[in-house]
């Protein structure tokens, strides 16, 4: 293993790989990317539903989406690796007057930033997503540029391009400490030795708080379990959308989309507490199925073929923490994406690479600043699913 590096990136998921790729594009190739597992993209990156969308409630997150999705659209040409990316759209179902009011304001914001979002009346919902139960729905929103991408393909594409430029990827290696001297990064300690470096990127996902503690900072990021289920449906007889459209029942956070021959679905558990446990809680499946049967009746009697659980890295306001840390020169954060990390990794990785290279990132990062919680300057993301 290398004993020195210009930059050490902690975390080999989509976020860390994106930083490595964008650093290489800026000529910074003396980089070590450290992953604790034997393979890249096997943590939260490999356990998510792959959704990417423009429909957010804050301008900062919408701008991250605009840049990220634009790169996904040209990923094969620019990064040099083909990915599976289907832009069949996101459909948000609204069942309360409060949600309708919120979404009307946010559609105006999205449109003002150039996002083509349609306001959908209940009578038109089944035209976009045949088989959806419309009882109790007041309206919906739809963006046809949203879609589903392949997390593993994106991560490996970034990582291989970075490696091709000279970056080193160390797998099966755990970070055990971050050494700080005179207020700046000095080294990263690992299970395989110490790497002297002046720059560390914390892209450790749900384990971000621990890496922050190594460097002496408080990072308000906690892991929350999220379940994903796959139902086996007979698409010849079951009424389900023929496309890969992502449908989200905003009031319950239940969502689904086609996945191979079946239907992938999930829902947040409002009673979940912070945990690193990714054991599937099968009693929760019954709760999800009750909602599923209402919003996609074809799931009522469909058997679950398999399931898994991953971890959201939640921040207090649902917005990520991106950028440098006051008082620890050389420490950069990419944490707390609250379920939106994969879809925002292209832009977020580019931003941090620009900061490390001394470039203007071209974006106001104050909504993502580490110190915003201490300052009370918090404007949270409403579209956390």
Residue 307's alpha-carbon distances to 47, 232, 264, in angstroms, are 10, 12, 9
Angle at 65 between CA 61 and CA 69, to 5 degrees: 175
Q: Which two tokens stand for residue 222?
A: 């906690």
Question: Mapping DSSP to helix (H, G, I), strand (E, B) and coil, where does residue 286 land?
Answer: helix
Range scoring the smallest mean pLDDT among 110-124, 131-145, 168-182, 270-284: 270-284
Predicted local distance difference test score (pLDDT) of residue 323: 98
Does position 216 have pLDDT exceeding 80, yes or no? yes
Contact indicator for 285, 307 with CB cutoff of 8 Å: yes
Closest CA to 299 of 263, 253, 245, 258: 263
Q: Whose structure tokens read 């009522």?
A: 300
pLDDT tier at 238 (50, 70, 90 boundaries)? confident
Dist CA 249 CA 100 (whole Å): 12
Q: Which residues contact 108 (CB under 8 A, 6 or more apart)?
A: none
Angle at 62 between CA 69 and CA 68, to 5 degrees: 20
Predicted local distance difference test score (pLDDT) of residue 35: 97
Average pLDDT, the chain: 94
Does position 378 have pLDDT exceeding 90, yes or no? no
Average pLDDT over residues 229-240: 82
Does position 376 have pLDDT exceeding 80, yes or no? no
pLDDT tier at 308 (50, 70, 90 boundaries)? very high
Q: Percent of the chain beyond pLDDT 90?
A: 85
Predicted local distance difference test score (pLDDT) of residue 365: 95
Range scoring the smallest mean pLDDT among 6-10, 257-261, 360-364: 257-261
Q: Which residues contact 84 (CB under 8 A, 6 or more apart)?
A: 149, 150, 153
Does position 301 have pLDDT exceeding 90, yes or no? no
Domains of the chain: residue spans and CATH: 7-51+151-220+317-375 (3.50.50.60), 90-143+223-314 (3.30.9.10)
Q: Whose structure tokens read 């560390």?
A: 200
Predicted local distance difference test score (pLDDT) of residue 373: 87
């Amino acid at each position: 293993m290398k004993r020195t590096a210009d930059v050490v990136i902690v975390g080999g998921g989509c976020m860390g790989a994106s930083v490595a790729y964008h650093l290489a594009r800026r000529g910074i190739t003396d980089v070590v990317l450290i992953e604790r597992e034997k393979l890249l993209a096997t943590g939260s990156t490999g356990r998510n539903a792959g959704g990417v969308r423009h429909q957010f409630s804050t301008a900062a997150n919408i701008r991250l989406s605009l840049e990220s999705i634009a790169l996904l659209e040209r990923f094969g040409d620019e990064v040099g690796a083909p990915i599976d990316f289907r832009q069949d759209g996101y459909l948000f179902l609204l069942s309360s007057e409060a949600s309708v009011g919120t979404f009307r304001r946010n559609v105006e914001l999205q449109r003002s930033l150039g996002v083509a979002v349609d306001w959908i009346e209940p009578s038109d919902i089944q035209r976009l997503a045949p088989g959806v139960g419309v009882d109790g729905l007041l309206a919906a929103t739809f963006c046809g540029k949203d879609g589903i991408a392949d997390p593993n393909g994106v991560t490996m594409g970034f990582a291989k391009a970075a490696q091709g430029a000279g970056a080193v990827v160390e797998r099966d290696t755990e970070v055990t400490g971050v050494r700080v001297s005179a207020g700046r990064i000095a080294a990263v300690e690992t299970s395989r030795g110490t790497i002297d470096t002046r720059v560390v990127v914390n892209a450790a996902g749900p384990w971000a708080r621990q890496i922050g503690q190594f460097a002496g900072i408080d990072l308000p990021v906690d892991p929350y379990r999220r379940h994903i289920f796959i139902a086996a449906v007979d698409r010849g007889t079951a009424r389900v959308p023929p496309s890969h459209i992502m449908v989200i029942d905003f009031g319950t956070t239940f969502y689904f989309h086609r996945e191979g021959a079946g239907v992938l679905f999930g829902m947040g558990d409002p009673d979940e507490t912070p945990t690193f446990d990714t054991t599937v809680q099968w009693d929760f499946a019954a709760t999800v199925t009750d909602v599923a049967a209402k919003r996609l009746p074809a799931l009522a009697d469909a058997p679950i073929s398999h399931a898994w659980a991953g971890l959201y890295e939640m921040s207090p306001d649902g917005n990520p923490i991106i950028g440098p840390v006051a008082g620890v020169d050389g420490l950069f954060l990419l944490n707390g994406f609250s379920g939106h990390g994969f879809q925002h990794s292209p832009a977020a990785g580019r931003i941090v690479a620009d900061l490390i290279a001394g470039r203007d990132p071209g974006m106001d990062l104050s909504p993502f600043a580490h110190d915003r919680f201490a300052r009370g300057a918090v404007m949270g993301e409403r579209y956390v699913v």
